[in-house]
Amino acid sequence: MRVSFTLLLLLLHLFLLLITVPGVNSQASENNPFIWQVVVQYDIARSNHSQKYLPDTSFKLYSQDFQTVNLHDDLYGHNQRLLLDFGDGCPQTTIEDIQTLNGNTATSPSMMSQPSIALVERGGRCNLWSDKINHTQAISKIYNLNIGAVLLYDNMIYNGSSSNGSSSASAEGLVQLNTNNGSYPTWSTHSLEPPSRNIHSMTDNDISNSNGSQNSDSVFMAIYFGSNHYGRVLKDMVHKYTSTPSNSMHQYYIQLTFFFAETTFTTTENQPNGSGGENGNGNNDNSDMWTVFTGERGYLAYLIAAGAALIL
């Protein structure tokens, strides 16, 4: 009797939660995050740590192909990272290859002042995702690259879909919104078509596949998946922004941050400005981002509420 009463309370709480907490009924989720993408500029004459956002380059990107392979600790915010192109990330990849792909910025003090995310192409000279992840982790450790996440992008382009990036808000497209725009896209279907676009049906995914492979227990970084189109867009951006003349006092990197629920914010040079985020000293102060994450529409509020419901 008591047990069922508790259960009833629990269900009631979950129900109330669903209808009252904004952000729950949203497109972005743990399994299908959106990405905040922005170019950051470092003025290396001033300091190798002070960064400045270029607000014109700040966007939220949505795609049904964005899938979480391994969430690790990313739910709790503090996951803004600078992008490094790792090619196919296979064991043959050397630090020299990575330097070449990134305009020799991989070990620059500015790049190393902040955690990074490796862009890795699916397939190539090796197949299993754990090979790529293991090698990425190994290189990061040897050269102190501080890689906290991997964005694996598809080497396949699917027919009959716009996964190549025609920008319609259809199920398969890549949708780009200003960060203060709350009209997020909604997908027309729940499942990815064809089903081979779903990470859980990819046989080279030995991190978290439908056969219950749980290598994720030994993977201490976040892993995400994206479309071939988005991977190529990012590669082009890395190439463009790191080919500044070597005597330039400015360096430019692409920063990616994954969000698991809808939120809006404005981007100023110094910080993303979320619900009530006030912190003037924009010297790469991550607490501003934390505010965006924990703002009233943020995921944390939902987690805390869910936790409270469970305790009852």
- Give the list of residues 6+ apart from residue 35 with CB closer than 8 angstroms, or none: 60, 61, 66, 256, 257, 258, 259
Closest distance between ligand NAG and the C-beta of residue 277, in Å?
A: 6
Looking at the Cβ atoms of 29 and 137, the one nearer to ligand NAG is 137
Looking only at residues 210 through 229 of this chain, which bind ligand NAG when binding is defined by CB under 6 A? Answer: 210-211, 218
Closest distance between ligand NAG and the C-beta of residue 12, in Å?
A: 35
Rule CB under 6 A: is residue 97 a binding residue for ligand NAG?
Answer: no
Q: Length of the chain in residues, anyone?
A: 312
Rule CB under 6 A: is residue 134 a binding residue for ligand NAG?
Answer: yes
By CB under 6 A, which span of 72-80, 98-106, 155-163, 290-298 interacts with ligand NAG?
A: 155-163
* Cα(292)–Cα(175) distance, integer angstroms: 21
Looking only at residues 39 through 68 of this chain, which bind ligand NAG when binding is defined by CB under 6 A? Answer: 44, 47-48
Taking CA atoms, 53 is separated from 111, 214, 290, in Å, by 14, 38, 16
Q: Which residue has the tokens 């497209």?
A: 173
Do 64 and 32 meet the contact criterion of CB atoms below 8 Å apart?
Answer: yes
By CB under 6 A, which span of 26-34, 72-80, 154-162, 250-258 interacts with ligand NAG?
A: 154-162
Do 301 and 294 meet the contact criterion of CB atoms below 8 Å apart?
Answer: yes
DSSP state at residue 80: -
Closest distance between ligand NAG and the C-beta of residue 300, in Å?
A: 19
Closest distance between ligand NAG and the C-beta of residue 279, in Å?
A: 8
Rule CB under 6 A: is residue 178 a binding residue for ligand NAG?
Answer: yes
